[in-house]
A and B are shown apart, each in its own frame.
Chain A
Amino acid sequence: MAPVLETKKLCKSFGALTVAQNIDFRLAPGDRHALIGPNGAGKTTFVNMLMGVLAPSSGEILLAGEDVTRAPQARRVRGGLGRTFQINTLFRNLPVLDNVALAVAERSGLALRLWRPASSYQLIKDEVMALLATLGLADDAEARVADLPYGKQRLVEIAIALGLKPKVLLLDEPAAGVPSEESNKILKNLENLPSEIAILIIEHDMDIVFRFARRITVLVQGEVLVEGAPEEIARDRRVHQVYLGEGTHG
């Protein structure tokens, strides 16, 4: 299938420090792809380049076939790229409903309406409530995000991204900082996401990676070390070396 997101020879360096080197990456509709690698491998840099937070030094990013390498973040999002953040990046003082409604309003082009009260936009609220219901957040719609337990806040991250109806969803450590019983709930929700969305998950928790991903890319020092199915990655000697440190420091 034609990739919905593709990078070609993507590079990024800060002065002499190279954090991404010739990354070739493809994501097709419906993919469940994991990006793993030790700390400092350049995973977040890669996501930031995809989103347009960081400009690559060279290389190309294609979203649904369109070159978005230099496009601002807003255009990429409108092109179908949604993300969650590793560290909660929410409207903490606003109700859960507003957190998601702001995303829905942007997507549906209603964010510049300045006459009728926001609360009269039933279409937006209905969509948000339906979305919250699928994530088990319906009862929390009116609660302030800051008052929610951390695990639920992580789900709000996902709800906001889904409010954009993304073609591609980047999940940056969706279960980071969540106790294991709650991370299970998050994983269940991830497994229930619409199957046509292409999902790239960046994760440290190997349980989640191997349960969720059907394809894995291992990033080491800014380079793709290996890409393959979970079984292949699990067997790969180089991956073991990287994670267990065998012989890597000579």
Chain B
Amino acid sequence: MTQASAQSSGYLADGRIRWTEWLPWVAALGGFFLLPEYLALGSRILIFILFALSLDLILGYAGIITLGHSAFFGLGAYTAGILSAKLGIHDNFLQLAAAAGAAALLGAITGAIILRTRALTLLMLTLAITAILLEVANKMTTLTGGADGLSGVVVAPILGLFKFDIFGKTAFLYCLAVLFIGWFFVRRLIYSPFGAMLTGIRENTARMHAVGAPVYRRLVLVYTISATMAGVAGALLTQVNQFVGLNVLGLEPSGDLLVMLILGGVGRLYGAFVGPVVYLIAQDYLAKQYPEYWYLGIGLLLIFVVLFARGGILGILDKWLPFSKPRSSAKASAR
């Protein structure tokens, strides 16, 4: 009898952190010291990793399919931006908290409405919500700056000590710290009974109903958690760029995010790390080499992954590197 393969959540999964799980952090710190000229790109990657983690939670674990996750990212970005540029609140934590709160509220309200639907209907509704927000941001020029974007964002030194410098060092380490907290939280969550329950909903919704799970309420809950994280990621982008543009809302950032996650691998936590790294570096490189055709390269990459590596880049690594697999240890076994 074959054993249950690679459990990355559930009652047999070993919840302890493996040494391989420290590699992304080592790599990030290595990048900080070795590639100082790429720190702006690095911060962007860290922000999108956080954003992708939030998507993985609902798409990869709970099975909620969405093209509208930018609604929360964008709302978070604008909340932080408006707070700073219009209301003069420059504390970075207050900005993050406000962005998180606004995104959570939007997630709870829209989730309660649209999560009664499924599949294509749900997909279209998520898209509609971010499209509406894009239009609102476009029209409310006094608050958002409309198509010109919102400039004049100021972030006070973090903890009163660390000023955002022009080389982006503070920004990078700040994003890394927030991402670390986000990662730690998501990791706890997916290894917990809550995470196992989400996997249950994704694997067989009818069965979860039959074991007495109020599935709809659970979906709204996880959608709200995910929205909150996406809002924080959006606020980070505002703080790092000190600017908000309309490109944080609508189909495009949602679609890019989805492509990143699929590239990395859906429903396995670290796919959200690998995807943005590959996507954004490829984008950076291709946009310099072929400014007009860079999407072609991304497209080819995506086609390759979808045709030959359904588990994403991490799925390929699984086949080549046995140790990249999460193990279900003997200690975690039931006896």
- Residues of A that sit less than 8 Å from B by CB: 51, 53, 72-74, 76-78, 82-83, 85, 89-95, 97-98, 101-103, 105-107, 110-121, 124-126, 128-129, 139-144, 147-148, 160, 163-164
Contacts and interface: CB of A to CB of B under 8 A. Distances in A.
* List of 8 A-B pairs having minimum Cβ-Cβ separation, nearest first: A117-B15, A77-B212, A95-B4, A114-B194, A103-B211, A91-B203, A74-B214, A117-B191
Interface of B: 1-5, 7, 9-15, 188-189, 191-197, 199-200, 203-204, 206-215, 328, 332-335
Of B4, B191, B210, most A-chain CB atoms within 10 Å: B210
A118 B11 CA distance: 5
A78 B214 CA distance: 10
13 contacts: A53-B209, A92-B203, A93-B203, A95-B7, A95-B12, A98-B4, A105-B193, A114-B192, A114-B193, A119-B191, A129-B334, A142-B4, A143-B4
Interface of B is mostly: loop
A95 B214 CA distance: 23
Contact of A98 (B189, B196, B210): B196
Given A95-B4, A101-B196, A142-B333, A119 B15 contact: yes
Contacts of B197: 102, 105-106, 111-112
Of A53, A76, A141, most B-chain CB atoms within 10 Å: A141
Nearest to B222: A114
B192 A113 contact: yes
B200 A89 contact: no
Contact of A102 (B2, B12, B192, B208): B208
A119 B1 contact: no
Nearest to B206: A89
Contacts of B10: 94-95, 98, 101, 118-119
A115 B187 CA distance: 9
Contacts of A102: 196-197, 200, 208, 211
A118 to B, nearest CB: 5
